[in-house]
Chains A and B, each alone.
Chain A
Amino acid sequence: GAVVSQHPSWVICKSGTSVKIECRSLDFQATTMFWYRQFPKQSLMLMATSNEGSKATYEQGVEKDKFLINHASLTLSTLTVTSAHPEDSSFYICSVPLRGLKGEAFFGQGTRLTVV
C-alpha cells in the first residue's frame, strides 16, 4: 500500500481562489518533506523543502507568499496555492525521504491542479 498519501488527486478551482494540498506520511515520521511541480511534458522541479516545526525553504524563483507550506506535525505537510491563476495549473507531487535508506524517498500520488 501507499506509504505517502497525497490529497486530493485532482482539483479544479476558479482563478483567485486558494487550494490546499495535503501530503501525509502513513508509516513513519517525517521531519522533512519535499514539494515538486511538474508542468506538462516537463520534469519535476523542486519547489520547496518542508521542515517540521520551522519555516519551509523555497527554491529560487518560487514565491513563498503564493505557495504556503505548513508542516505542523511529523506526518503532515500542506501546500496551499493562494490566489491561484491559470498559470499555476500543474501537477504537484510531494516526497518523503527515508532515514537510514541512502537517498531513498517515497512519492505521493500527485495532485493535478487546474485553475479556470
Chain B
Amino acid sequence: AQSVTQLDSQVPVFEEAPVELRCNYSSSVSVYLFWYVQYPNQGLQLLLKYLSGSTLVKGINGFEAEFNKSQTSFHLRKPSVHISDTAEYFCAVNAGNQFYFGTGTSLTVIP
C-alpha cells in the first residue's frame, strides 16, 4: 500500500524568506514522486518530479526538491519566496499509474 504524509498543513512565511514543505511517503513498490501546486478553484499544475537519476530535482518557479530514499522523503524547497507563491501544494506518489496525494500544505507568503 502507498501513502503520502505532508507534515505541515499550513506554512506562513515572509516574502523573500526560504521555505521547506515536507513530504514523506511509504510504498511497497518503486514509485515516482511529484509536487503539484493548486491555485484557488484551479486544477493541479506540476512543479517538479522525480523519476530516476539525480536525487535533486529542479522545477518551475525556482522550486527544487530532494529525494531521500533512506528517509523516504521528498521535501520541497525554495530559497526566496514571492507573494505569488501563495497556494496549496500537494506531494504525490505514482505507483502503478495511480496517484496517491498528501493532504496538502497551504503556503501563505506574508508581505
Residues of A within 8 A of B (CB): 6, 9-10, 32, 34, 41-46, 49, 91, 93, 95, 97, 102-105, 107-110, 112
Contact in complex: A105, B102 (CB < 8 Å): no
Question: Chain B residue with minimal CB distance to A95?
Answer: B99
In the complex, A105→B36 CA distance in Å? Answer: 11
Number of A-B contacts defined by CB within 8 Å: 55
Cβ-defined partner of B51 (8 Å) among A93, A102, A107, A108: A102
* Contact pick for A109, options B34, B42, B49, B97, CB 8 Å: B42
Q: Kindly list the 8 A-B residue pairs having the minimum CB-CB distance in the complex, ordered from nearest.
A: A103-B32, A103-B94, A109-B43, A107-B44, A110-B43, A43-B101, A43-B103, A107-B43
Give the complex CA separation of A105 and B95 in angstroms.
12
| B104: A residues at CB distance < 8 A | 41-43
Q: Contact mask B51-90 → A, CB, 8 Å, 1/0?
A: 1100000000000000000000000000000000000001
Nearest opposing residue in chain A for B96, CB measure: A103
Chain B hits for A107, CB < 8 A: 36, 43-44
Q: Does B28 contact A (CB under 8 A)?
A: no
Q: Are A112 and B41 in contact (CB under 8 A)?
A: yes
Q: Specify which chain B residues have a CB less than 8 angstroms from the CB of A95 in the assembled complex.
A: 99
